[in-house]
Amino acid sequence: MTALTHFQTPLLQTPFHPRLAPLNRQQNWGAWAGYLAAGCFGDAAIEHTAIRNTATLYDISPMIKYRITGPDAVAYLNRLTLRDAGALAPGQVQYTAWCDDQGKLMDDGTLFRLGEADFRLCCQERHLPWLLDSAFGFAVTIRDESEDLAALALQGPVSATVLDQAGFDVRALKPFRQASFEFGGGEIAISRTGFTGDLGYELWLPPALALPLWDHLMQAGALYGLTPIGGEAVMLARTEAGFLTTGLDFIPVQQALREDRARSPFELGLGWMIAWEKGHFTGRRALQAEKQNHSSAWALVGLEIPGNISAEGAILYQSKKREVGFITAACWSPTLKRNIAIAHVESRYADCRDLWVEIYAQRELQYHKLMLKVARTARPFFAPERRRATPPARW
């Protein structure tokens, strides 16, 4: 029997690690898809402030990336995902998701159309066996290119100015669009996408260009406050934006140990993305039945909570008595000066009337129970006009 030694193997280093390691003086690292990922380089609050006021760099190289090519690429993706891949023109991007046969969500991600029969699917979880099984009967080739492509997120109101200073003219690039640029004897792609809810871009490049690009951007952004950031600041920003995170805001159905933990797109507020007119797709029959029968058991809601104590992980009660939901992400928003949360609530209580949250706040080593009345509020919590303005403002 072969001995298992995977636990002895160190986490991989991304192509940007030689620049990130000296900055991470506190050695604040975490694991992301088998890679070392920085949690914070010093102070998460300062890094978050940079996202909302200047420009930031975040290493997203560990993201899972699949290349899907072939004459049946559109037909295959329309069978696999909820949205209409055929509606994308080359150079466009869409936020999408996919389900199992019971209509329960497996993951969400971004789909890039690179050519007529050339796509890239980026997501949080690994899905190669499912993607390959789903390709039966389609003339497509699917390849995991996660290790072949480095990536950076350049986010913040000054991000377009930094790119312009670096010689990349993205002024005409609209949200969810992508363009290619020459750099260092090769080519990089820049998409107007991101996970902060702010003006921002993602840069996709061969690993050999990673360090030259990092140095080039840091030099170009030196006068504009360009700041490297870690995952803690990004998670705070994504909560303000009301974005979902796989494994935190929902359990992928293929990982759920309990049947009632899986969620449908309707239960996660993603019903809007279902392209019913495109024909059959995996989970369609189950989702049609759920829609027609109004049988969604859960609803995903945005909440505003009194005070400034984060309610992450707290339980929700109807009339202070009956447990009817729970909070998956919460924070005191430095940007909005509001205590906000994303929560799962039983669908019959989705109006959130007479809904209370039970919080245990630590004060000088002792926990105090707080029962606070919550109010439903719209998501995204933070959605500035600058995130869509084209051309973006100059700084």
> How does pLDDT run across 78-100, given as a tens digit for each residue?
999 999 999 999 999 999 999 99
Give the model's pLDDT for residue 349: 97
- C-alpha distances (whole Å) from 96 to each of 77, 78, 111, 247, 378 are 10, 11, 7, 17, 21
Give the model's pLDDT for residue 365: 87
Do residues 17 and 187 lie in contact, with contact meaning Cβ atoms separated by under 8 Å?
no
The CATH code for residues 297-380 is 2.40.30.110
**How many other C-beta atoms lie within 10 A of the C-beta of residue 58?**
27
Select from 343, 372, 379, 342 the least CA-distant residue to 358: 372
Q: How far apart are CA 333 and CA 111, in angstroms?
A: 30
* Mean pLDDT, all residues of the chain: 96
Give the model's pLDDT for residue 381: 97
Per-residue pLDDT of the chain (395 residues), as tens digits, is 556 666 677 899 999 999 999 999 999 999 999 999 999 999 999 999 999 999 999 999 999 999 999 999 999 999 999 999 999 999 999 999 999 999 999 999 999 999 999 999 999 999 999 999 999 999 999 999 999 999 999 999 999 999 999 999 999 999 999 999 999 999 999 999 999 999 999 999 999 999 999 999 999 999 999 999 999 999 999 999 999 999 999 999 999 999 899 999 999 999 999 999 999 999 999 999 999 999 999 999 999 999 999 999 999 999 999 999 999 999 999 999 999 999 999 999 999 999 999 999 888 889 899 999 999 999 999 999 999 999 999 88
HEC string for 340-392:
EEEEEEEHHHCCCCCEEEEEEEEECCEEEEEEEECEEECCCCCCCHHHCCCCC
Give residue limits of the domains in the chain: 10-61+149-241, 64-144, 297-380
Gyration radius of the chain's alpha carbons:
22
Q: Looking at domain 10-61+149-241, does it have CATH number 3.30.1360.120? A: yes
Q: 170 burial class (0-12, 13-18, 19+ CB within 10 angstroms)?
A: buried
Q: How far apart are CA 94 and CA 88, in angstroms?
A: 8
Dihedral in degrees, nearest 10, Cα atoms 175, 181, 186, 191: 0
Query: Which alpha helices (DSSP H) does the chain contain, by range?
Result: 17-23, 44-53, 73-80, 128-134, 159-165, 210-220, 231-241, 284-293
**How many other C-beta atoms lie within 10 A of the C-beta of residue 388?**
13
Pull the structure tokens for residue 252.
Answer: 């992928």
| C-alpha 22: how far from chain center | 27
5 strand-pairing partners:
none
Select from 277, 52, 298 the least CA-distant residue to 158: 52
| Eight-class DSSP state of 186 | E
Give the model's pLDDT for residue 3: 66
Give the model's pLDDT for residue 256: 94
Give the model's pLDDT for residue 4: 64
Q: How far apart are CA 99 and CA 360, in angstroms?
A: 36
The domain made up of 64-144 has a fold known as: Alpha-Beta Plaits (3.30.70)
Q: Give per-residue burial for 111-138: e unless 16+ CB within 10 Å, then b.
A: bbbbeebebbbbbbbebeebbeebbeeb
* Residues near 178 by beta carbon (within 8 Å), at least 6 away in sequence: 91, 92, 93, 112, 114, 189, 190, 191, 192
Total-model pTM: 0.94
